[in-house]
Amino acid sequence: MGKDECKTMLDALNKVTACYRHLVTALGSTSDSQNLREELKKTRKKAQELAVANRTKLTALLKDKSISKDDRAEYERLWVLFTSSMELLEVDMKRSLEIGQDFPLKVPTRHLIQTGMTGSTTTVAARAMSVQNMKYEADANIDTVDLRELETEIAQVDQMMEEMEMKVQVAPWAVEAKQEAGAELKSTVSVGNSSVGVISICEEEPKETVEGENGTMKIFAGIIFTAVLLIAGILGYLVINL
Amino acid sequence: MTINTLSQDGVQRQQMPCLTKMERMIISMQDPDMGIKLRNQRLLITVIPHAMTGADIVEWLIKKLTISDEAAHIGQFLVKYGYIYPLKEPRNLILKADESAYRFQTPYYWMSTRWPASELDYAIYLAKKNIRKQGELIEYEKECYNALHKRINHTWDFVVMQAREQLRASKQRRKADRIVLECQEQAFWLVNRPPPGTLDIMNYGPERRTMNTRVQLNAEFYKKEIEHNRMSLARNRVKSSICLESYVKYCEQYQPHDPIMQGCLPSNPWITDDVLFWNMNSEAVTVPTKLRVERWSFSFTELLDDPMGRKEFLIYLEKEFSAENLCFWQACEDVRHGESSKIPEKVDEVYKQFLAPGASRWVNIDSKTMEKTLEGLKRPHRFVLDDAQMHIYFLMKKDSFPRYLKSDLYKSLLARAIVPQETKKSVFPFMRRQRHSSPSPALVTHTTEDDGKAKNSNSVKSNSGTASRL
């Protein structure tokens, strides 16, 4: 079905957009490196491929006059999702160009901002590219070469968006979202639980509850374990002695 | 069909110059030799590097810029604009020059006038926070969330999807980095969408185009400057000693007439809820108050502004056979302040009655003004009769008005005018209704601090004394 295909492709584009944004936030900071620039480049190219694929599919579907009204409403909704995704991508690409130009890597003294982030972004990039491990094969001067490519790509994306606006007549304000406010809370529980585990020291009252809970659970388990061991030892001793 | 919010009027926005300067300063702080001293931040188990104390920041600024007092002030800017954020109290964006910890913000989240924070981003951030906190958002965040849900409802699905994906992406990092990411994003949104009641640092009013439009320093520009300065030199200036004298005279003349300074007889309606004062000074009263009649003698405008004064003056002019002047003046006022659609017919009326040769009430205007007015009557507009009106006004002012003030009509009216009695509260005979129930600021200086009723009544007595003198 065209709709399901579209949805999976949109989900993929959404995932890559989120990962790309995550990578761009690391630009210019201490987690910046040649690898990061390469990751950005690869993610960007993947995003563009997905974007083009999505666009052709959706325009084909929307141009088809023989679809029902519900179907058309659904496709318009998907179209709005697509354009929002492209908006985010476009802004992120422009910002990455700006920041990339301000923070070159091949200078004698790097002045990367010391933000406290020291880990690498390989896992995020791997998630974006849907691979297990990232392979890095770029040259040493990727930061300057890539920027030129980036400029051309930005121009391409701009052009694509203009074409989209011209060719497809979809009124975004007429689209009604399927999710209501607060819909994200009812979703996959896994997202909620694991991120609650982070100590939120950013708040005024440091919430160590969850961490504390885990701690007490561990202590409790430890106590029970040692108690069981003790009882087993005592029983064994008694059995042996009796 | 997306609205491109990135460029305004097709011109690419520039980064504000002060922000560029701050960015340069932040970059120079990163210098490994000359930069700021960084320490580690210890949380329960995790250790996050690159933290600095407020004292370090101020010290570095003093050393680098060779200043002393302004260092704290400049440091404040860095914090307020979001380039450095506090770690202990993130909502309190101030720089404390002590042991409180701060950290640098990543360049993506720097304040940027080129890429202002968009509503879509804010919605995604709030959705993420909603998921993390299981629905426990702060009050104003909840309101923003609901407002955004209404406003950008068409992309709400995208907001939810993107929020989930971004959280999944950040889960891929290790714990220390995750904490830093959260703090960074929170600091960014505290600066760009400040909570209600806190300072909005980017609230700088309508955008000025001065950044992009440059003034050409050519001959045209200098000619304009010279002309402007020449006109300023030629302006009429009055010595302050002279204009202050006339100002003092004016105040002295009008002081008895001011209800706040002098109090008003019978009583101030705003204080005592007694509308006698307004009734006695209304338009169609048979016997006017003395103050009112006296005021007419101050200037011609005062006389004309008061409807009763105008009536009296008309009666006098009729005796002198020059009433048409005042009628003409009134008709011109009507044209000036009346409805636009009726102007042509009104002007026509005026012409027929007052200006046409042989008219029933012909006014005496000099030939030059008459020619100009007749010329303008061909295309009537609101101010076409202005010159003629001005001429007649000055005629009346110079000629009829002084004679009116000396006339019997005016003098008899002045003699007949009454001075209203202060209303007395009849319930308690020894408690007078004060003319100023709340002491006016002018009188507070006269009366001494211990104001018993006696003192108040004394001041009242002295005031009523002055009133009877009037």
What is the per-residue pLDDT across B394-437, written as a single tens digit (0 to 9) for each? 999 999 999 999 999 999 999 999 888 887 655 555 555 555 44
Q: Between these two residues, A193 and A130, which has the higher pLDDT value?
A: A130
pLDDT, mean of residues A175-185: 74
Chain centroid offset of residue A140 CA: 26
pLDDT, mean of residues B240-248: 93
Sign of CA dihedral B16, B22, B24, B27: negative
Sign of CA dihedral B370, B376, B381, B384: negative
How far CA A115 is from CA of A43, B100, B236, in Å, comes to: 23, 17, 62
Please give the pLDDT value at position B182.
92
What is the Cα–Cα distance from A56 to A67, expressed in whole angstroms? 17
Regarding beta strands B39-42 and B101-104, do their DSSP bridges make them parallel or antiparallel, or are they unpaired?
A: unpaired
CB atoms B120 and A11 under 8 Å: no
* DSSP of A117-181: --S--HHHHHHHHT-SS------TTHHHHHHHHHHHHHHHHHHHHHHHHHH----GGG---SS-T
pLDDT at B62 > cutoff 70: yes
Query: Where is B51: in which H helix or E strand?
Result: strand B47-53
What is the least distance, in Å, from the CA of B70 to any CA of chain A?
24
CB atoms within 10 A of CB B142: 16
Please give the pLDDT value at position B58.
92
Interface mutation target, options B155, B184, B188, chain A, most CBs of A under 10 Å: B155
Task: Compute the mean pLDDT over every residue in chain B, rounded to the nearest whole number.
Answer: 84
What is the Cα–Cα distance from A40 to A21, expressed in whole angstroms? 9
pLDDT at B448 > cutoff 50: no
Please give the pLDDT value at position B5.
43
Please give the pLDDT value at position B268.
85
How far CA A114 is from CA of A101, B29, B30, B176, in Å, comes to: 18, 9, 7, 14
Regarding beta strands B39-42 and B47-53, do their DSSP bridges make them parallel or antiparallel, or are they unpaired?
A: antiparallel
CB atoms B26 and A184 under 8 Å: no
Please give the pLDDT value at position A228.
94
ipTM: 0.76
Beta bridge partners of B11: B8
In B, minimum Cα distance to A115 occurs at B104
Give B-chain residues touching A200 at CB under 8 angstroms.
182
Please give the pLDDT value at position A134.
75
pLDDT, mean of residues B322-337: 93
In B, minimum Cα distance to A16 occurs at B165
What is the least distance, in Å, from the CA of B160 to any CA of chain A?
6
pLDDT, mean of residues B436-448: 51
Please give the pLDDT value at position A213.
47
Q: How confident is the model at residue B205 (pLDDT cuts 50, 70, 90)?
A: low
CB atoms B168 and A30 under 8 Å: no
* DSSP of B71-116: HHHHHHHHHHTTSEEESS-TT-----SSS-EEEEPPGGGS--SSSP
Rg (CA), chain A: 26
CB atoms B183 and A202 under 8 Å: yes
pLDDT, mean of residues A21-38: 86
pLDDT at A179 > cutoff 50: yes
Torsion angle of the four alpha carbons A70, A73, A74, A79, in this order, in degrees rounded to the nearest 10: 160
Q: How confident is the model at residue B125 (pLDDT cuts 50, 70, 90)?
A: very high
In A, minimum Cα distance to B171 occurs at A195
What is the Cα–Cα distance from A150 to A93, expressed in whole angstroms? 8
Give A-chain residues touching B90 at CB under 8 angstroms.
202-204
Q: Out of B30, B108, B174, name the one closest to residue A27 (CB).
A: B108
pLDDT, mean of residues B443-449: 51
How far CA B157 is from CA of A187, B92, B129, B148, B408, in Å, comes to: 13, 33, 16, 13, 88
pLDDT, mean of residues B133-161: 89
Beta bridge partners of A119: none
What is the least distance, in Å, from the CA of B67 to any CA of chain A?
24
CB atoms A165 and B1 under 8 Å: yes
pLDDT at B293 > cutoff 50: yes
CB atoms within 10 A of CB A26: 27
pLDDT at B9 > cutoff 70: no
Residues of chain A numbered 1-60 and touching chain B (CB < 8 Å): 11, 14-15, 17-19, 21-22, 24-31
Q: Between these two residues, B424 and B140, which has the higher pLDDT value?
A: B140
Please give the pLDDT value at position B273.
83
Query: For residue A15, which of A77, A88, A74 has the smallest C-alpha distance?
Result: A88
A2-25 vs A69-102: helix crossing angle, rounded to 10: 20
Give B-chain residues touching A77 at CB under 8 angstroms.
157
pLDDT, mean of residues B24-53: 86
Sequence spans of domains, chain A: 2-177, 189-241
pLDDT, mean of residues B76-91: 91
Architecture of domain A2-177: Up-down Bundle (1.20)
pLDDT, mean of residues B340-368: 90
Q: How many residues does chain B have?
A: 470
How far CA A152 is from CA of A39, A85, A99, A160, B274, in Å, comes to: 18, 20, 16, 12, 81
Query: For residue B186, which of B267, B86, B287, B36 has the smallest C-alpha distance?
Result: B86
Q: Locate tokens 């003093």: which residue?
A: B62
* DSSP of B349-388: HHIIIIISTT-TT-----HHHHHHHHHHTTS--TTTTHHH
Give B-chain residues touching A181 at CB under 8 angstroms.
145-146, 149, 156
Q: How confident is the model at residue B390 (pLDDT cuts 50, 70, 90)?
A: very high
pLDDT, mean of residues B122-136: 91
Q: Locate tokens 């422009």: which residue?
A: A94
Please give the pLDDT value at position B441.
54
Judged by average pLDDT, the poorest of A67-81, A110-124, A169-183, B29-43 is A169-183
pLDDT at B375 > cutoff 60: yes
Q: Please give the single-letter amino acid code of residue B444.
A: V
What is the least distance, in Å, from the CA of B13 to any CA of chain A?
13
The pTM of the full predicted model, rounded to 2 decimals, is 0.57
Q: Out of B46, B115, B172, name the one closest to residue A123 (CB).
A: B172
What is the Cα–Cα distance from A238 to B4, expressed in whole angstroms? 83
pLDDT, mean of residues B90-116: 89
Query: For residue B97, which of B128, B66, B67, B62 has the smallest C-alpha distance?
Result: B62
